[in-house]
A and B are shown apart, each in its own frame.
Chain A
């Protein structure tokens, strides 16, 4: 049975390039860059697309003698010119982090919603029923039972996978404590990143009895809601690169079973971004920046894309100061983007050249007679002739052409070189 692919995986979502100015994400870097050129770095006066906000600023001041004050179509707190953005380059680290947080939150939310609606296991588990199910209403006892089964299943997986040699992802010191499990990290990590465990699989409900009591009705959120908080603490680079052994300062080192496991592993997501399901235990991480305070919940996946203009509209009237992290000091290029750095800079440097070329660019006027209007010429055609004696037509004597720029005389001898 072929698996039905429902949507992008979390990894794919996190890997998508996105726009610093409007938080929209894109298929690949090229599209992002062309988006930025079209939406944020386009000169409103002449339509020229520049590569960076700085380039646009220079263009505006040199060509139009205007001062660029803010980046167009940007979210209110992202419109500053002090950050030099090109594609994904130059995005401050903290903003990347909070973006990833939000992607995660949304992913969970979408996942949770989808599960709530379909009753299906998470994407990628392969047992999903293609038929859409009605929203399933479970009694508390049923849910508890399922939770117990799930726990047993997990315990089994952990035991079974202890032989598994390769740790997956960054999950070395994971929040297993949050789940009250013995901290056998590889398995836990495994569990966290791939959502692989089919709930329906046979599981003997042996272990974890105590937790049955604490099972909350928000069962659906339990796994997808709680888990992905974990990678959020890392930058996507470390997450993807799978650097093992990153300390997990918040709680990973203290795997004390908590009586409320669902809420434990969630301290990382800034409140303003958190979805209702994931909000309860959240506290903004101290030292991290809740960027884009007025940023709305991104649309859940599958929902229509909000374009940047609408996005901007949604933010009108919320003038938010530029995020503290948006200053130049924070411009740590992300490791992943670093190789492109050298590529980007020359491109930027050359961007003013075409402008100068533009000025000297030959312009060919389709209609270049600066003295006789097209209508007069047409009127001179025989087929339009009305009065044979048309002195009025040639009232203006043509003086020898002289090159005059910007002056006007009372007579009609101002001739401009059309190619000027």
Chain B
């Protein structure tokens, strides 16, 4: 059951930092942020509505490389975070850009919570900015200090997971964040001290590269620079905590040394709850986190996988390939940045179930 794969035309000209599909199951749009200072909007459907090779709809230029992008309340709204320290909202229909807030350093991640109408950005200035975006009233964003620099962020309907340097990891309750943000106007600098719902130490010994939450709100997976993925559960009960595990992946045995690649990207399948991992080795693998099995592994791409994403209905898997920094290459050769989209078979990403 080979899946259909095609390469999206007109990819970014520099390394890709993030790729996100619209969460709308009907939509086949996705956005890509790049180090070439642009955010790209693509659609897999052509004018006639049939899924083709995928085409570039629009490009939104920024002042600096864009490090992350996410969809907002609908298909017309995305939020971006970048090296220009700003968190922006882009209205895709009008191309209007609004700066929501500015950090004191590059902004690494931005996420949007539909349930709480919150936009949370994480910056290398070791803060989170929490923006309420549902009200027209001008509520300034609340600033939440972090113990370390954030590296990755992911959320579920109720929780926000922030993975940071020093292997620390905070899990915030989004409801509490939303409430505190409303009150933050009364505090100096809008700074709120939020005790995270849980503080955790990463189960991985090395720097966290990516976190991704399970769509069913049960837990999350995290990956490190040392070819490993951990799967953990939110539930603090000993039974649930005993279920957590980690496994090696994205490694290549070369003679007597194991070449270990960072696991750059994780993404959960919105329907089946399985997840994909993309590594510096150019490999994308699908995993069943519950049954602890690898479902499949795709053929190696010529360079590092920077981002992976499932479409809202789970039928497509987009894989952003670009020579990463770990390749040790400074220049980006022409044509090495690509976005591949796989049309997944009916059960291609479905777990086999526990044995």
Does A341 have its Cβ within 8 Å of any Cβ on chain B? Answer: no
CB under 8 Å from chain B, chain A span 54-88: 70, 72
Contact with A along B232-262 (1 / 0, CB 8 A): 0000000000000001100100001111111
B207, A390: Cβ atoms under 8 Å? no
- With A384-B64, A412-B148, A412-B166 already in contact, the answer to whether A378 and B247 are too (CB < 8 A) is no
A386, B165: Cβ atoms under 8 Å? no
A384, B226: Cβ atoms under 8 Å? no
A414, B325: Cβ atoms under 8 Å? no
Contact with B along A355-367 (1 / 0, CB 8 A): 0000001111111
B148, A396: Cβ atoms under 8 Å? yes
Question: Inside 8 A of A366's CB, which chain B residues have their CB?
Answer: 259-262, 280-281, 326-327
Cβ of B278 to closest chain A Cβ, rounded Å: 14
Bound form: Cα–Cα A362–B258 in Å: 6
CB under 8 Å from chain B, chain A span 348-394: 361-371, 373-379, 381, 384, 386-387, 390-393
A46, B248: Cβ atoms under 8 Å? yes
Question: Inside 8 A of B206's CB, which chain A residues have their CB?
Answer: 365, 370, 416, 418
Question: Which single member of B257, B262, B292 contacts A45 (CB below 8 Å)?
Answer: B292
Question: Which single member of B201, B226, B257 contacts A361 (CB below 8 Å)?
Answer: B257
CB under 8 Å from chain B, chain A span 241-276: none
- With A45-B292, A410-B147 already in contact, the answer to whether A367 and B166 are too (CB < 8 A) is no
The residue in A44, A374, A410 that gathers the most chain B C-beta atoms within 10 A of its C-beta is: A374
Bound form: Cα–Cα A373–B262 in Å: 11
B124, A376: Cβ atoms under 8 Å? yes
A379, B205: Cβ atoms under 8 Å? no
Bound form: Cα–Cα A374–B126 in Å: 17
Name A408's closest neighbour in chain B (CB-CB).
Answer: B201
Contact with A along B253-295 (1 / 0, CB 8 A): 0001111111000000000000000001100000000001110
B166, A414: Cβ atoms under 8 Å? yes
A393, B124: Cβ atoms under 8 Å? yes
Contact with A along B161-178 (1 / 0, CB 8 A): 000011110000000000
Does B125 have its Cβ within 8 Å of any Cβ on chain A? Answer: yes
Question: Which single member of A365, A376, A406, A408 contacts B226 (CB below 8 Å)?
Answer: A365
Does A47 have its Cβ within 8 Å of any Cβ on chain B? Answer: yes
B205, A406: Cβ atoms under 8 Å? yes
Question: Which single member of A373, A386, A416 contacts B83 (CB below 8 Å)?
Answer: A386
B258, A363: Cβ atoms under 8 Å? yes
Bound form: Cα–Cα A395–B124 in Å: 8
Question: Inside 8 A of B148's CB, which chain A residues have their CB?
Answer: 396, 412
Cβ of A125 to closest chain B Cβ, rounded Å: 42
B126, A411: Cβ atoms under 8 Å? no
Contact with A along B201-231 (1 / 0, CB 8 A): 1000111010000000000000001100000
Does A343 have its Cβ within 8 Å of any Cβ on chain B? Answer: no
B124, A370: Cβ atoms under 8 Å? no
Question: Inside 8 A of B293's CB, which chain A residues have their CB?
Answer: 44
Stretch at the interface among B47-55, B99-107, B335-343: B99-107
The residue in B166, B257, B258 that gathers the most chain A C-beta atoms within 10 A of its C-beta is: B166
B325, A362: Cβ atoms under 8 Å? no
Question: Inside 8 A of A6's CB, which chain B residues have their CB?
Answer: none
- With A362-B256, A370-B225, A384-B64 already in contact, the answer to whether A395 and B125 are too (CB < 8 A) is yes
Bound form: Cα–Cα A371–B125 in Å: 15
B63, A386: Cβ atoms under 8 Å? yes
B258, A395: Cβ atoms under 8 Å? no
Contact with B along A112-140 (1 / 0, CB 8 A): 00000000000000000000000000000
Question: Inside 8 A of A368's CB, which chain B residues have their CB?
Answer: 225
Does A405 have its Cβ within 8 Å of any Cβ on chain B? Answer: yes
Cβ of A81 to closest chain B Cβ, rounded Å: 14
Question: Which single member of A44, A362, A411, A414 contacts B257 (CB below 8 Å)?
Answer: A362
Cβ of A373 to closest chain B Cβ, rounded Å: 5
Question: Inside 8 A of A5's CB, which chain B residues have their CB?
Answer: none
Does B42 have its Cβ within 8 Å of any Cβ on chain A? Answer: no
Cβ of A98 to closest chain B Cβ, rounded Å: 26
Question: Which single member of B104, B168, B325, B327 contacts A408 (CB below 8 Å)?
Answer: B168
18 A-B residue pairs with Cβ-Cβ distance under 8 Å, sorted by A, are: A45-B292, A362-B258, A363-B226, A364-B258, A366-B261, A367-B262, A370-B206, A374-B325, A376-B149, A378-B35, A381-B330, A384-B64, A387-B85, A392-B105, A392-B106, A408-B201, A409-B166, A412-B166
Known: A46-B247, A363-B259, A408-B201. 9 other contacts (CB 8 A): A44-B355, A364-B260, A371-B165, A376-B149, A386-B106, A395-B124, A410-B147, A412-B166, A420-B205
The 8 lowest CB-CB distance pairs between A and B, nearest first, are: A392-B105, A386-B64, A367-B326, A374-B325, A362-B257, A363-B258, A408-B201, A392-B125
